[in-house]
Amino acid sequence: MPYASNGDVDLYYEVDGEGDDDRDVDAVAFCGEIGYGPWQWGWQHAAIAGPYRAVVPATRGTGDSETPPGPYTVGQLAADLDAVLADAGVRAAHVVGVGLGGMVALHAAFHSRRVRKLALVGTPAYGDGMNPDPLWGDPTDPAALKSSLRAAVTDEFLDAVPDAVARIVEWRAAEDAGRDAWEGARAAVRGFDLSDRLYEVSNEALVLHGSEDAVCPPTKGEELAEGLPRGEFVEVDGAGHLATMEASREVNDRVLGFLDAEA
């Protein structure tokens, strides 16, 4: 099992897929939403691993990564990502992020030469643009894990896939952050603000946003895309905050089309 180190913090990650040696960028890294373990990328993994190497870190405090004392900053989480990419031997990667993960991707675009295109889902330009508190679920409380999913996706989706919901609850119990780590990550969201510097992000960016996102309103995604010099906003009709899960086929098609397109 591979681990990278950022200072004294050990970070677990997984790499799958061979990538394509003919590509200038053959890796895609995933940055997760606050408190969620790597399980959240299960809907993207098979689509990405193959044409690219898929690099899936467990954010500090989740999965098998260590849980240092908080509060955390987006800068620390971006440094974690860079440590993982370096350990995996990735010289250049596209980055996909949701919510807090999108903030990390934006910060990394400023500070890491490894980052190329950005795919940002349910992401605002500043921390006050989203309220992640309803996403919290105690990993020791299955009922809380299940009920808090209603902040992440629509009721229609949950009611349509009861078997999948049961599996998600099991994955969350095994991988999601405990309260201390969650509060540490919550501080990172609260302290994030790139609204006055978005014009400096020269990376191509696809901003995807569920039309029914109750955590981060679609207007915040539009605002982000408008502020990015090379940003494009796409609304995912009928999806909630985790459009990556609820509308995975559409999201995967759009992300792969964006990553594969020539600049």
- The rounded mean pLDDT for the chain is 95
Q: How far is CA 68 from CA 81, 117, 166, 185, 206, in A?
A: 16, 30, 30, 11, 32
pLDDT at 92 over 70: yes
Contact, 98 vs 31, CB < 8 A?
yes
Which among 41, 25, 82, 34 has a CA at the least distance from the CA of 59? 34
pTM exceeds 0.85 for this model: yes
Average pLDDT in the 184-212 region?
Answer: 97
Residues 6+ apart with CB under 8 A from 76: 6, 60, 188
pLDDT tens profile 167-181: 999 999 999 999 999
pLDDT at 182 over 70: yes
Tally Cβ neighbours within 10 Å of residue 1.
Answer: 6
Strand positions, DSSP E, the chain: 3-6, 9-16, 27-31, 53-57, 93-98, 115-121, 205-210, 231-236
Average pLDDT in the 27-33 region?
Answer: 97
pLDDT at 21: 63
Contact, 19 vs 54, CB < 8 A?
no
pLDDT tens profile 95-128: 999 999 999 999 999 999 899 999 999 999 999 9
Q: How far is CA 39 from CA 59, 136, 158, 233, in A?
A: 11, 15, 17, 26
pLDDT at 25: 84
CA distance 70 to 2: 24
